[in-house]
Structure 1
Amino acid sequence: MSIRRPYKMVLFVILNVALLWVVKKWHSEEQKLEGIHSIALDFEERLRARDTSLKEIEDYNAKHVQTINAPDAIFLRPGNVWLESNANFTSSSTSCYTQNLQHRLPKVIGIGIKKCGTGGVIRFLDHHPLVRLPPKNEVFFFTGKNKIDLNVYRKKMPLTNERQVAMEKTPVYFAFSPENNPERIKSSILDVKLILIVCDPTTRAFSEYVHERARYKLYHGPMMAKYNTFESFVDENLPQFQSKIEEWLNSSQSHSDLREKIINMARTDFKATILSNGIYSAHIQRWRNCFNETTLKIIDGNRFLDDPGSIIEELQDFIGIPKVLLREDFVRHPVTKFFCYRRFTEQNFKNNVTEQNNDKELIKKLQCLPKLKGRTRNGKQNAKDQTLEKLRAFYHPFNQQFFKDIKESFNWSQPRHT
């Protein structure tokens, strides 16, 4: 009896443990199924909301925007050059929306910063039926000191109806002259909203260097002629630039003075802007003095690279347009691994695994950014760690000041020793 009793107790414990494991496993599977079901329901609701918005936009156009005929070969959406010069054209063929379209001032402007993803953000937003871009995305209207002629500015914008949003981007607005650009923009377009995309200034500097070298190879300008490598550019220019910055900071306690010095330097030494464009703290206050969180949206460009769909959803809310571009619409290209746009549907959701495994079929349906985008992120061009570390150390205090100014921190690279 003394031998059997421990045996029964051990067997009882084992059976209870096994039963508890089975119950826990069953509960875990139930939760997983509930989670999958919840995701599916959430996605279906998001799709229905988008379909409702798209139908409402279509109904508005049918009711308020009349059509005329245009040749099949040149049918383009509103805002194209042909429509602007042939608004009264009539012929038998495909119809185009024209009535109620006019040149309006932009409601949204991308003000920078160079090489941080402004172009990518604007191009993805361009898939929205209520967003319209000018023929030349970068207008440069507020870069000069001449008297502002808003009629000239309007003519640079695409044709839009009352509900559409004209949008332009000129990344040099943020860090270049004239200094009073925030005041000029605000007084010119009272209800305008600005998008500022910043990114890790170390990788940004490398990206702009590669961009300028590519321009040199095309146009043979003298500025970048002798800098065959990023290392040679940094080794020659960073010490001089850093010395100037330290001198300016020692002579003044104001970031506005530093901004003025940087802007003046850019007029005579443009190559130095490859480095100075990453000092966001020198410029942010002049914009925040005129625009608040409801009119100035600051985006982390590094996050945009990793999760563009969430950024695009946030921007639709910020602009005030229906959310018809969903995070599920943005998928990685099977070859390049960069994100592309493809409208996601309930059918896609059901067949997602099959389609993702069929790369050729998926690629045919993707709308990607131009191949020139991501030149420094495709692994074909790299900078040496030692050079990047010099830049991280240089930018670190300015990054910390910038985070303090905007009351938000981004996950950018840190120097090994701070």
Structure 2
Amino acid sequence: MKLAVVGGGSTYTPELIDGFARLREVLPLTEIALIDPDADRLALVAGMSERILRRTGCSTRITTWAAVEDGARAADAVLIQLRVGGQVARHLDETVPLTCGCVGQETTGAGGLAMALRTVPVVLDVAAKVAEVAPDAWIVDFTNPVGIVTRALLDAGHRTIGLCNVAIGFQRRFAALLDVEPAQVSLDHVGLNHLTWERAAYIDGVDVLPELLAKYGPEIAEQVVLPVSLLHLLGVVPSYYLRYFYEHDAVVREQLVTPSRASAVSEVERKLLRIYADPTVDAKPELLGKRGGAFYSEAAVALLTSLLGGRVDTQVVNVRNNGTLPFLPDAAVIEVPATVSRDGAVPNAVAPVDPLFAGLIANVSAYEELAVRAAIGGAEDLVVRALLAHPLVGQADKAADLARRVIDANRAHLPWAAA
């Protein structure tokens, strides 16, 4: 069984490899093909990955490739984890919107649109190459912004499921608070990628979220960086990304006086690559936890085990709406629990969504549709339309100004905008 990882030179990759090594009895991979055009970085990450596998006694073979069409050939699944433009582009995503008084974040708002403009065409090109050499492979998208990228892949006809670690992170944290095994906790997780709420947490069919909020409200609130009073008002646990909506102006004030997240991540990555270069290191470094992506490997292993191994279970993934949320078009991509098997993922039934959440979901979903059009169509007016639809922008003058700034900052990655 072969897995190809596009963006295999990412500092995330040893996290993924560590998960496959620990869970090799569940998903016995024979080959993991790491694909990345950066040969030096790929060599460091591949060496670290091989040492992790050997230390754990895992016989999976690591191979390295520069070209997608070579590395993905005959793969059973392809995981895409790209960052077009690297941390330099991310820094711009996090700072350019601030010049217009909007939140600067790599997947939300104008920064998220900038990332989509750079990323969607590249991922579609990757997927087209995969289709040529591995036509039956599942494409698992971990590339942000996951909802937009997954929608673009599905619109192009690819066998795709989007994956995020937010839901599995909540499951693990809730289980730890309650001192139970994570598998005992199932979530009523609803929304779009990076726009979700935990409406219930079930153990043996009983919703324990009210208990969690009553006993651990301040701790949970600290994790999502929102006031505990807001969590009690809502009666749910929003994802961290809801802070950009619920406390937009406060976040902007903070961001104007603090270094970008990209700056911090860049330093972590430099340190990680130095660690990976040490031939005596054969275990996932503790520093990797500061890179982000907690429980990423567990989520990936669970999804691939169902898609490739034949297990049927429920997982939170990004899939077509297809009537699940009646206030959204069928073609929208939502993030909800779904039944996953060899045939793919089918969303489970979802209880009616409170208008407080449904309104925001519908608004951002409409923006995501326009974001895909802008990324594929490649025109300034399409960028303006997408920004005008986003609830964190939404003003004509601001949308037009931001569109010009975003395009100017990303010309190196936007062939259609080249001067």
- Please, what TM-score do these two structures have when normalized by structure 2? 0.24
Give the alignment's TM-score, normalised by structure 1. Answer: 0.24
Kindly indicate which of the two structures has a greater share of residues assigned to strand: 2
Higher RCO, Cα 8 Å, sep 6+: 2
Q: Which has the higher Rg, Structure 1 or Structure 2? A: 1
